[in-house]
Amino acid sequence: MSQEQAANKLTYYMPDTYRSRGFFCLIFLVLTVITQLFSFSQNIGLFFALIVYFWGGGLFVIGAVKELLRLYIGFNAFLSFWGFIIVWFGIFGILQGNTSNNNWVFAELAFTLMFANFIKAKDVGYLKSSFKFVESLDNFISPSCILVTSEGYKKVFCEEIKIGNIILLKNSHRLAFDGEIVKGSTLFDENLLTGNITLASKQVGDKVLAGSINKGKDVEIKVLSSKKTSHIAGVLDAVKQSENRKLVKISNLERPALVFLIITFLIATVLGLISVYKCSDNNYHTYVLSSICLCMMMISPVSYMFSVILPWHYLSKVTCKGKIKINDVTVLERVNDSSKVFIDKTGTLTTGHLQVAEIMPAKGVDEETLMKAALSTQQNAQNIFAFALKEWGIKNKMVPLKISSLELHPSYGALVRSGEDTYLAGRRTWLESKGIEVPMPEEEVRKTVFYVAKNTTFLGCIYFTDRLRANAAATVKYLLGLNKRVCLLSGDNTLAISAAARRAGIKEYYGNMYPTDKSAKINADQNVGETITMIGDGFNDILALLQADASLAFVPTNNLFTSWVDVIIKGKDFTLVKRIFELYDKGKFAVRLNLLLSILISLFCYSFVLNNTADICLVICGFFVLNIFLIFLNSLRLKYE
């Protein structure tokens, strides 16, 4: 945590704590109004005001004291100081015998603290969904597994398994331990750990990590870790520990609080001196009370809260038309301040859908023969390779062969018969198991390759690549133009990620990274002063998203995972990232204009009071309503820009 974060860390309470105190203030607001309407003793109103200030506003007072001890003045100090002026004004008025308007002022105190408590409750309310996600992690890995014994198979709890035991992992089951395959071969879905959309082929002697899902045949695995010390357990523990990072987020109410407080208080002090200087009789008391009332109007936290909250509220609504959801609007400032942007590859910079990248016919075979054979084998299949081949076929107006029979072997390959010929397509190991000799170039192990054969003759191979999202390259160029350093991270192999980086215009990239590696890389850059924005898409990015100062995620639907993300992007176009980076300046300008309007209207109110004999409280209330109305209009325009 940086020194600035430590200084600005907010005093934190649960949302329900603020909410209950808000309702408490509401009750005393009603009681104070009744006291004024029925002309009860002013001492009763003062008593109510003291209760409201020290109980209804107690959390803000405590927060202000803690922050002042760290030499920080923010919204808590602003609100506490304003409340103190209100209480002091009431006591001063009672002592001077001028009590006609005291209860209305005390009602303003109760209303302001009620509003502030409800705002703070909403400000930290998003944490609740995060806590639910943390609780769900405990049930992420199955509590039981199948132990291989000399007597056969036995279902046991994972806690009973010891390092060195052999377990049976069936199809579609998630591995609870890090291990090594000792019998059989299969395909593993490692998307959770690496983000890779293609399945990883594993043979005897290969290492497999907890969290991987068996997508092929049953295999026996030697356990190399306990459930609590596995790779995925480390990731889950890190997620739980990262909960504290949620509490360091700085509210939008904090940033301009000190400046606004100083400016308005100085202006109010000058106005007070002017009012005393201009009085033509000895009735100084009336002029002083008028100045204090105006002082309260000018530094009213209600006007301040509306000025700050409404622009960010409507600005976030601009992006919420089914494409972007901003969970934490304070992220816009951190996005603006970020010096480096990390982008995950698969599913983030790219669509997560393959496309044909390179066609490599065998010697003596033409490209059309190879592609027609490949397309024919996949015409009834539903997998990432089939979708890419069908799209290529439509684009190139290629019609597949008519087939008489079809054999699909999910995750391995397909076999079809057309006339007297047999066509096979799929993984190299599968074709070799059918007696077909397949040459393997040295670099092919680092690429996504699809092999094709006719009868026993190898026809060639097709290389696939993950396509970039629409406008990905243009958005990267935009970020570079903002002097942001852009870096690509991926659990995919180095060759695949270098190709994607080259197409997107990114020069810095890192491959073969697990979730903990991504987080460690971001943390290392933060330690040298970088402010980081992370753009990801899935669970394999969660540690990096939590570690980053600002987190954006391409996620098609809401789920518990997305509660940890500052911004959810549901659209497919990468231009949406550019849109997020553009929002902060608009919001900051609107906030400053709102605060300026509050000061100007207060000055006009002061001038009006000095030159008219109308009831001061009515005048202040009228100008307050006008102020809120103009703030509302200025903020609302952001929704339609």
In order, the DSSP letters of 441-503 are -GGGGGSEEEEEEETTEEEEEEEEEEEEPTTHHHHHHHHHHTT-EEEEE-SS-HHHHHHHHHH
Residue 99 backbone dihedrals phi, psi, to 5 degrees: -125, 10
Is there a domain that residue 437 lies in? Answer: yes
Same domain, 511 and 536: yes
Helix, coil or strand: residue 378: coil
Average pLDDT of the chain? 80
**CA dist 498 to 296, 385, 553, Å?**
61, 21, 22
Residue 37: is its pLDDT beyond 70? yes
Co-location of 555 and 448 in the same domain: no
Please tell me whether residues 517 and 377 are part of one structural domain. Answer: no
Query: Are 481 and 527 members of one domain?
Result: yes
Work out the percent of the chain whose per-residue pLDDT is above 70. 80
From 561, 582, 603, give the residue that closes a domain: 582
Q: What is the CATH number of the domain that holds 359?
A: 3.40.1110.10
Residue 563's pLDDT band (cuts 50, 70, 90): low
Q: What is the pLDDT of residue 475?
A: 95
- For residues 444 and 476, membership in a common domain is answered with no
568 shares a domain with 484 = yes
Q: Judge if 487 and 434 occupy the same domain.
A: no
Domain's final residue, options 182, 206, 226: 226
Give the model's pLDDT for residue 476: 95
Q: Provide the domain count of the chain.
A: 3
Given a cut of 80, whether residue 89 has pLDDT beyond it is: no
Which range marks the domain in which residue 399 is found?
352-467
What is the mean pLDDT of the segment spanning 536-564? 76
Give CA separation, 333 vs 205, 304, 336, 445, in Å.
49, 19, 5, 43
For residue 96, CA distances in Å to 104, 376, 395, 544 come to 17, 96, 88, 62
DSSP 8-state assignment for residue 174: B
Starting at the earlier edge strand, list the strands of the sheet with 144-149: 152-157, 144-149, 166-169, 219-223, 179-183, 207-208
User: Two tokens at 164?
Assistant: 């060195």
Beta strand 405-409 pairing with 550-554: unpaired
Q: Is residue 382 part of a domain?
A: yes
> Residue 138 pLDDT more than 50?
yes
Domain-located, residue 238: no
How far are the Cα atoms of 25, 37, 39, 85, 87 from residue 102, in angstroms, in the given order?
17, 12, 11, 12, 10
> Does residue 376 form part of some domain?
yes
Verify that 448 and 360 share a domain, yes or no.
yes
> Which residues face 98 on adjacent strands?
none
Q: Are residues 168 and 151 in the same domain?
A: yes
- List pLDDT tens digits, range 585-594: 888 899 999 9
Of 58 and 613, the structure prediction assigns the larger pLDDT to 58
The segment with the largest mean pLDDT, out of 234-238, 495-499, 596-600, is: 596-600
* Residue 272, domain member (yes or no): no
Asked if the structure places residue 10 within a domain, the reply is: no
Is the domain of 405 the same as that of 436?
A: yes
Q: Is the predicted pLDDT of residue 146 greater than 70, yes or no?
A: yes
Q: Is residue 235 part of a domain?
A: no
In a domain, 567, yes or no: yes
Among the ranges given (104-113, 271-280, 330-339, 444-453), the one the predictor scored with the smallest mean pLDDT = 271-280
pLDDT in the model for residue 226: 86
The 10s digit of each residue's pLDDT in 111-125 is 889 989 998 887 766
Task: Tell me what pLDDT residue 296 has.
Answer: 56
Task: Name the pTM for this structure.
Answer: 0.70
Shared-domain flag, residues 478 and 340: yes
Q: What CATH number is associated with residue 525? A: 3.40.50.1000
Nearest to 110 by CA among 163, 52, 184, 54: 52
Average pLDDT over residues 39-49: 80
Cβ(620)–Cβ(293) below 8 Å = yes
Stretch 27-36: mean pLDDT: 87
Out of 87-101, 422-436, 538-552, the most confident range is 422-436
- Strand extents, DSSP E, 170-313: 179-183, 186-189, 200-202, 207-208, 213-214, 219-223
> How sure is the predictor about 147, in pLDDT bands with cuts at 50, 70 and 90?
very high
Tell which residue, 42, 92, 627, 637, has the closest CA to residue 313: 637
Domain boundary among 204, 226, 248: 226
User: Is residue 445 pLDDT above 50, yes or no?
Assistant: no
Q: Is the pLDDT of residue 245 over 90?
A: no
Q: Give the residue-averaged pLDDT of 228-245.
A: 68
- Rounded Cα gap, residues 637 and 151, in angstroms: 74
Q: What is the CATH number of the domain that holds 208?
A: 2.70.150.10
Evaluate if residue 220 carries a pLDDT over 90. Answer: yes
- Token pair of 83, please? 């409340």
**Among 442, 411, 388, residue whose Cα is nearest residue 213:** 411
Q: Which of 22-31, 291-300, 317-326, 493-502 has the lowest mean pLDDT?
A: 291-300
Question: What is the pLDDT at residue 228?
Answer: 80
How far is C-alpha 570 from the chain's CA centre? 12
> Residue 607 pLDDT more than 80?
no
Q: What is the pLDDT of residues 350-408, one digit of tens each?
A: 887 788 888 889 988 999 999 999 999 888 777 778 888 988 999 999 988 888 888 87
Residues 160 and 190 in one domain: yes
The mean pLDDT of 544-567, rounded to a whole number, is 76
pLDDT band at 7, cuts 50/70/90?
Answer: very low
For 64, 129, 271, 563, the CA distances from 125, given in Å and listed in that order, are 21, 8, 40, 11
